[in-house]
Copies of this chain bind each other. A is one copy, B any other.
Amino acid sequence: MAITLRTSDPDFETRFAAFLTTKRETSPDVEAVVRDIIATVREHGDKALADYTRKFDRADLDAIGIAVTRAEIEQAYRDADPATAEALTFARDRIRDYHQRQRPQDDHYVDALGVELGARWTAVEAVGLYVPGGTASYPSSVLMNAMPAKVAGVERIVMVVPPSGGVINPLVLVAADLAGITEIYRVGGAQAVAALAYGTETIRPVAKIVGPGNAYVAAAKRQVFGTVGIDMIAGPSEVLVIADSDNDPDWIAADLLAQAEHDASAQSILITDDDVFAEAVEKAVQRQLETLPRAETAAASWRDFGAIILVGSLDESVPLANRIAAEHLELAIADPDAMLPRIRNAGSIFLGRHTPEVIGDYVGGPNHVLPTARSARFSSGLNVLDFMKRTSLLKLGPEQLRALAPAAIALAKAEGLEAHGRSVAIRLNL
């Protein structure tokens, strides 16, 4: 059973505020261990990678090599279920099409004074993509992280993935190949992040590192930030479903459980205006749990972090949704387009009864790497701009410099920066 909150309750605001600030994960303190691993990789390079991989992944890189070979990729295609490989190709194409529309335009113009101004976008030269091993080794995430980089024009995308027990999920290799990644190393953990940031004999350093990982990987990314760029550190996944009573309770329950099965720290929230419907959804959740392979995880998530919020009218759900700022927001209502303009904070919005969030995890087209833990208030899902940077451009001739000089010199003087003023004045014999 999830908790139930009612906006009509006198203590709703207090309880909702507490609900919003509930912490769903505690990260172990691995700072010191990670610091040591990074220092060791910087000092000993490939040898350190081999040592850590032997220790943490029970795999011998001296025997199997750090780099994944073309022959292994081809073997992965043979090992993969053909229907799944085809589904990955279908997903790859849809993700590419959606992200191609995100490519930014350069700008160049001349203002009324004759000053030339502009902005130019360029791709990051090299990007590292971290892929977890074991059960969290998702081929869909390889596509979601790699395709925006590819579309951005990143020339070098380097994938690292731990060879848990010597093995890499063949679908991860197929997804990498479909995304056009040609440089793959079987190394994971903080040691892989260190190698990507600082380089080793085999792995040339990159300029930015993206992709999900465990607490060690997250800590390592934080520690190398500055030397390289990193993406956001994602928290546990979450969905908010706003649903009227015309929905099939089983559909909505399935959506809530799809989120809950990810992780015991995942969060599924239902907002509805109908008590009877809410109860029917809760019953459907319990019923569906009975036959779910990951029932233990999903039940824990629903019990510990799930919530049903009962509102007097669905209108009330809009300000609540904006405060929750969910990673995924489903509008399972009769006219979702009417509500949409008032929704401000959400990572991704799924409109209507036939758009389950799961479609967005795989084949919708938009990215599934999205802001969690209310960070949709200030950040966006992974996109092409995350792999590009903008350089501003300015060009003056003598006449334009004369026009701008007085204000620049006045401000430099006011800020006590004499050499600033001089650098302008000297060009005008002022």
Using a CB–CB distance below 8 Å, which chain A residues touch chain B?
A: 81, 83-84, 86-88, 90-91, 97-98, 101-102, 107, 109, 111, 115-117, 119, 122, 124-125, 135, 138-140, 171, 207-208, 226, 228-229, 233, 248, 250-251, 254-255, 257-258, 260-262, 288, 292-294, 298, 336, 340, 343-367, 371, 373, 375-381, 383, 385, 389-398, 400-401, 404, 406-408, 410-424, 426-427
Of B90, B416, B420, the contact of A135 (CB 8 Å cutoff) = B416
Please tell me if the beta carbons of B117 and A365 are within 8 angstroms of each other in the complex. yes
Q: Which of A262, A404, A406, A419 has the most CB of B within 10 A?
A: A419
Please tell me if the beta carbons of B418 and A294 are within 8 angstroms of each other in the complex. yes
Q: Distance in Å from the Cβ of A235 to the closest Cβ of chain B?
A: 8
The residue on B at minimum CB distance from A254 is: B423
The residue on B at minimum CB distance from A360 is: B394
Of B122, B138, B397, the contact of A352 (CB 8 Å cutoff) = B397
Q: 12 interchain pairs (CB within 8 A)?
A: A84-B411, A87-B411, A91-B407, A102-B119, A115-B364, A124-B377, A171-B414, A229-B379, A298-B419, A349-B393, A354-B400, A361-B408
Alpha-carbon separation in the docked complex, A196 to B71 (Å) = 55
Of B257, B261, B360, B423, the contact of A357 (CB 8 Å cutoff) = B423
Which residues of chain B have C-beta atoms less than 8 A from A401's C-beta? Answer: 354-356, 359
Lowest 4 CB-CB distances: which A-B pairs, in order?
A: A229-B378, A366-B392, A87-B407, A351-B395
Alpha-carbon separation in the docked complex, A362 to B401 (Å) = 13
Q: Distance in Å from the Cβ of A407 to the closest Cβ of chain B?
A: 4
Copies in the complex: 2
Which residues of chain B have C-beta atoms less than 8 A from A427's C-beta? Answer: 251, 353-354, 356
Please tell me if the beta carbons of B355 and A396 are within 8 angstroms of each other in the complex. yes
Please tell me if the beta carbons of B423 and A258 are within 8 angstroms of each other in the complex. yes
Given contacts A292-B419, A358-B412, whether A391 and B426 have CB atoms under 8 Å apart is no
Alpha-carbon separation in the docked complex, A423 to B424 (Å) = 65
Please tell me if the beta carbons of A125 and B344 are within 8 angstroms of each other in the complex. yes
Please tell me if the beta carbons of A226 and B257 are within 8 angstroms of each other in the complex. no
Alpha-carbon separation in the docked complex, A345 to B100 (Å) = 23
Alpha-carbon separation in the docked complex, A350 to B394 (Å) = 5
Alpha-carbon separation in the docked complex, A350 to B400 (Å) = 13
Please tell me if the beta carbons of B417 and A258 are within 8 angstroms of each other in the complex. yes
Which residues of chain B have C-beta atoms less than 8 A from A226's C-beta? Answer: 233, 373, 375
Which residues of chain B have C-beta atoms less than 8 A from A378's C-beta? Answer: 124, 207-208, 228-229, 389
